């Protein structure tokens, strides 16, 4: 059976550094895989290659069995992405942003989809407010709504709860748990929040210097490295592993 | 086809909402063309009174100023649509949406037209009560001159946007200076004979010279020389084709170099 996400032997070399060095992994249906690693280890580069924003030096990414390089536009219809480092137009209201992205993704029954997301993500109170005027937590929920506008079957999340207060962070995590139960979706989650990874991910990839240096379920990693929590595993691997 | 139109309409809406939501933005669009055209209106009036060349041809300079401003605004409008995505850190969202490059280009071309007209129509309307001049005196060829200028404006927009794609916000200053670089060679306010021989040869390779020569020809001589209009179109199509090619090339280079990731202020 083909996994919805198959990353095969990806390399990305720049003139001055090798950002990704031969990465392999897959994500199956209704699975959340965590991507952990220190800053600059190649997480964002990997995600950018998977989204077709960046061309790999070699290797292939298959989404639903199709090569992203050869079927970029077709596959982007099935994918979406959220990151605290990219924003929605600040001068547009929440509703206008959702309308724009619903059109860009050719969403059928646009109003119904927007109503569903507004209801599910509690956007009602600020739906007509400009996006730039919202708090971080509210903006995060709007970005999450944008990332779900096309009902993606592949969702790439780059630090989706970074800089959120514990309550909003918990809201997002609970939402993702509920969402994956109700929809057929494969999620790759890059995060620095070890509790989040332990709670959500069935498999964890530990990255360093563009390589996957270890992987397994959160419990397997804890057992293997004799640690009590993932943060200690992370510190051990990022400090010791050559 | 329907899906493609839907996506292009989506990108148009992104900018339509932006303009609609901001009164200062609309005022800014109207302000500069109005100031520019009013200034040239008075200069035009002065020249028409004291210059042999422009004797009895009130409005030649003003008409050329309006045409040049149309070119300037259309090119800047195209660039601004692209810069808005960079300013709002929405660049990545745009390029992970399932939009073909051809759809992005088409949508920006159509949206830039709206932006250009918001700025220019009030200024053009003002010329009649203020200076007793109407650009409509150019007659039917006016449509071809505008069309030709718009294609060249979009071409310049494509060249600059290609730079923004490849080099990011650092290329912004070039975006603002392109038109000033070409203006002396475009022979907007003077005949091509004013230029030194070598620059005349260079200038003839630009559609601008043919467009403005023709505008002056119609206003001064009262006849239309379609050869100038055709020459402008031939050159325009070559440059536009090159602009589209460069845009595709820059997009591919940006994907290779990683400049589509986290583009921001």
The first and second tokens of residue A25, run together, are 């992994």
Question: Distance from first CA to last CA of chain B, Å, rounded?
Answer: 35
- Enumerate residues 6+ apart whose C-beta is below 8 A from B157: B74, B75, B77, B78, B79, B82, B108, B112, B243
CA angle, B158 then B161 then B165, to 5°: 135
Give the three-state DSSP class for B256: helix
Test B90 with A83 for CB contact under 8 angstroms.
no
Test A76 with B98 for CB contact under 8 angstroms.
yes
Pair A30, A62 in one domain? yes
Test A80 with B96 for CB contact under 8 angstroms.
yes
Q: Confidence band (pLDDT; 50, 70, 90) for A94?
A: very high
Mutant choice from B24, B28, B81, B88 vs A, greatest count of A C-beta within 10 A: B88
The per-residue DSSP string of A108-176 comes to SSHHHHHHHHHHHTT-GGGTTSBGGGS-HHHHHHHHHHHHTTT--SEEEEESTTTT--HHHHHHHHHHH
- pLDDT over threshold 90, residue A165: no
- Nearest alpha carbon to residue B182 among B162, B202, B196: B202
Q: Nearest by CB to B10, from A14, A90, A100: name it.
A: A100
ipTM of the complex: 0.88
The first and second tokens of residue A217, run together, are 């379920």
- By percentage, how much of chain B surpasses pLDDT 70? 95
pLDDT digits (tens, 9 = 90+) for B20-39: 988 888 888 888 888 888 88
Mutant choice from B255, B262, B265 vs A, greatest count of A C-beta within 10 A: B255
Q: Confidence band (pLDDT; 50, 70, 90) for A145?
A: very high
User: What number is the average pLDDT over the span A153-178?
Assistant: 88
CB proximity under 8 Å: B 88-107 to A: 88-100
CATH (domain of A228): 3.40.50.300
Pair A65, A31 in one domain? yes
Backbone dihedral angles phi then psi of residue A7, each to the nearest 5 degrees: -105, 120
Test A104 with B95 for CB contact under 8 angstroms.
no
> What residue has token string 């057929």?
A184
What's the confidence (pLDDT) of residue A130? 95
- By percentage, how much of chain B surpasses pLDDT 90? 38
CB-CB contact of A18 with A12 (8 Å):
yes
pTM for the whole thing?
A: 0.89
What's the confidence (pLDDT) of residue B262? 62
Its domain, for residue B46, covers 2-257
Pair A145, A163 in one domain? no
Pair A164, A216 in one domain? yes
Pair A59, A101 in one domain? no
Mean pLDDT of chain B, nearest integer: 87
Its domain, for residue A116, covers 85-151
Pair A181, A207 in one domain? yes
User: What number is the average pLDDT over the span A153-157?
Assistant: 94
Domain stops at, among A131, A151, A171 = A151
Mean pLDDT of chain A, nearest integer: 90
Q: Confidence band (pLDDT; 50, 70, 90) for B264?
A: low
In what helix (H) or strand (E) does residue A222 lie, and over which residues does it extend? helix A218-225
In what helix (H) or strand (E) does residue A82 lie, and over which residues does it extend? strand A79-82
Pair A30, A146 in one domain? no
Distance from CA of B29 to the nearest CA of A (A): 17
Instruction: For residue B262, tell me if it sits in a domain.
Output: no
Instruction: For residue B263, tell me if it sits in a domain.
Output: no
Q: How many CB atoms lie within 10 A of CB A149?
A: 24
Pair A102, A64 in one domain? no
Q: Nearest by CB to B90, from A45, A88, A103: name it.
A: A88
Pair A3, A119 in one domain? no
Any A CB within 8 A of B227 CB: no
pLDDT digits (tens, 9 = 90+) for B193-241: 999 999 999 999 999 999 999 988 888 888 888 899 999 999 999 999 9
Per the structure, the count of domains in chain B is 1
Q: Are strands A211-216 and A66-67 parallel, antiparallel or unpaired?
A: unpaired
Instruction: For residue B110, tell me if it sits in a domain.
Output: yes
Q: Confidence band (pLDDT; 50, 70, 90) for B190?
A: confident
Per the structure, the count of domains in chain A is 2
Test A53 with B96 for CB contact under 8 angstroms.
yes
Pair A46, A99 in one domain? no
User: What number is the average pLDDT over the span A39-54?
Assistant: 91
Mutant choice from A46, A93, A103 vs B, greatest count of B C-beta within 10 A: A103
CB-CB contact of B210 with B229 (8 Å):
yes
pLDDT digits (tens, 9 = 90+) for B43-58: 877 777 777 666 555 5
Test B99 with A53 for CB contact under 8 angstroms.
no
- pLDDT over threshold 60, residue A242: no
Domain stops at, among A104, A120, A151 = A151
Rounded Cα distance between B178 and A194, Å, is 50
Instruction: For residue B264, tell me if it sits in a domain.
Output: no
Any A CB within 8 A of B20 CB: no
> A73 contacts in B (CB within 8 Å)?
98-100
Pair A19, A117 in one domain? no
What's the confidence (pLDDT) of residue B173? 79
What's the confidence (pLDDT) of residue B231? 94
Instruction: For residue B183, tell me if it sits in a domain.
Output: yes
Q: CB contacts < 8 Å between A and B, how many? A: 105
pLDDT digits (tens, 9 = 90+) for A180-214: 998 899 999 998 888 888 899 999 999 988 999 88
- Enumerate residues 6+ apart whose C-beta is below 8 A from B57: B48, B219, B220
pLDDT digits (tens, 9 = 90+) for B74-113: 998 888 888 888 888 888 889 999 999 999 999 999 999 9
Pair A191, A98 in one domain? no
Q: Nearest by CB to B7, from A74, A80, A104: name it.
A: A104
The first and second tokens of residue B144, run together, are 């071809």
């Amino acid at each position: 059976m083909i996994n919805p996400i198959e990353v095969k032997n990806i390399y990305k070399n720049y003139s001055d550094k090798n950002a990704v060095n031969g990465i392999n992994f897959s994500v199956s249906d209704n699975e959340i895989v965590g991507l952990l690693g220190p800053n600059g280890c190649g997480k964002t580069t990997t995600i950018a290659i998977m989204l077709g924003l960046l061309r790999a030096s070699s290797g292939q990414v298959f989404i639903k069995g199709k090569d992203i390089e050869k079927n970029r536009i077709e596959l982007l219809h099935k994918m979406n992405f959220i990151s605290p480092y990219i924003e929605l137009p600040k001068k547009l209201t929440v509703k206008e942003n959702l309308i724009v992205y619903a059109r860009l993704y050719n969403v059928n029954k646009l109003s119904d989809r927007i109503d569903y997301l507004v209801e599910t993500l509690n956007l009602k109170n600020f739906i007509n407010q400009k996006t730039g005027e919202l708090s971080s937590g509210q903006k995060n929920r709007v970005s999450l709504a944008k990332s779900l506008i096309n009902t993606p079957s592949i969702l790439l999340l780059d630090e989706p709860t970074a800089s959120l207060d514990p309550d909003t962070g918990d809201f997002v995590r609970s939402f993702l748990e509920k969402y994956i139960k109700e929809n057929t979706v494969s999620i790759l989650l890059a995060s620095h929040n070890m509790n989040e990874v332990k709670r959500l991910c069935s498999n964890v990839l530990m990255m360093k210097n563009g390589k996957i240096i270890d992987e397994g379920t959160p419990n397997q990693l804890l057992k293997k490295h004799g640690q009590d929590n993932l943060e200690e595993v992370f510190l051990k691997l990022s400090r010791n592993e050559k | 086809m329907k899906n493609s139109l839907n996506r292009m309409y989506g990108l148009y809406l992104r900018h339509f909402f932006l303009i609609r939501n901001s009164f200062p933005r609309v005022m800014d669009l109207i302000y500069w063309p109005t100031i520019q055209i009013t200034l040239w209106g008075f200069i035009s009036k002065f020249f028409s009174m004291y210059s042999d060349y422009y004797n009895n041809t009130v409005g030649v300079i003003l008409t050329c100023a309006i045409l040049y401003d149309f070119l300037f605004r259309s090119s800047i409008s195209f660039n601004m649509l692209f810069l808005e995505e960079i300013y709002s850190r929405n660049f990545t969202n745009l390029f992970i949406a399932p939009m073909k490059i051809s759809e992005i280009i088409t949508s920006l071309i159509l949206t830039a037209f709206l932006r250009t007209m918001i700025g220019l129509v009030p200024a053009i309307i003002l010329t009649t009560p203020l200076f007793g001049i109407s650009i409509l005196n150019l007659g039917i060829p006016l449509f071809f001159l505008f069309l030709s200028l718009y294609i060249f404006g979009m071409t310049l927009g494509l060249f600059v946007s290609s730079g923004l794609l490849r080099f990011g916000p650092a290329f912004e200053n070039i975006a603002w200076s392109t038109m000033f670089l070409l203006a002396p060679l475009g022979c907007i306010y003077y005949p091509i004979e004013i230029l030194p021989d070598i620059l005349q040869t260079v200038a003839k390779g630009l559609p601008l010279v043919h467009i403005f020569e023709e505008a002056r020809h119609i206003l001064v001589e009262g006849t239309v020389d379609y050869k100038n209009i055709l020459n402008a179109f031939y050159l325009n199509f070559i440059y536009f084709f090159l602009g589209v090619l460069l845009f595709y090339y820059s997009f591919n280079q940006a994907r290779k170099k990683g400049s589509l990731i986290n583009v921001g202020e």
